[in-house]
Amino acid sequence: MRPLDVLQQSLHKRVLVEMKGGRSYRGVLDAYDQHLNLLLSAAEEVVKDEVTPRSGVTLVRGDSIVYISP
């Protein structure tokens, strides 16, 4: 098993994505690639405990990600 296999298993499920700089996202994982670029839907952005719902999808750039928690 490789680490990114967990993303395959998490497709269409809710994940938590922690970003560099303290921002994080919660949303449904619609797609990913080997650079850890992620496509999230029904996402919420969390900055210092302040939650902002985001409509539509969000494409998160992989190199700003610290960890992903399926």
Would you tell me which residues interact with a copy of itself (CB under 8 A)? 1-7, 19-21, 23, 25, 30-33, 36-39, 54, 56-70
Cβ count near 7 (within 10 Å): 18
- Tell me the closest approach of the beta carbon of residue 32 to a copy of itself, in angstroms: 6
In the complex, the smallest distance separating the C-beta of residue 29 from a copy of itself, rounded to whole angstroms, is: 10
Based on C-alpha coordinates, what's the Rg of the chain?
11
Helix, strand or coil for residue 1?
A: coil
* Tokens of residue 17, six digits: 């994505």
Q: How far is the CB of 33 from a copy of itself (least distance, A)?
A: 5
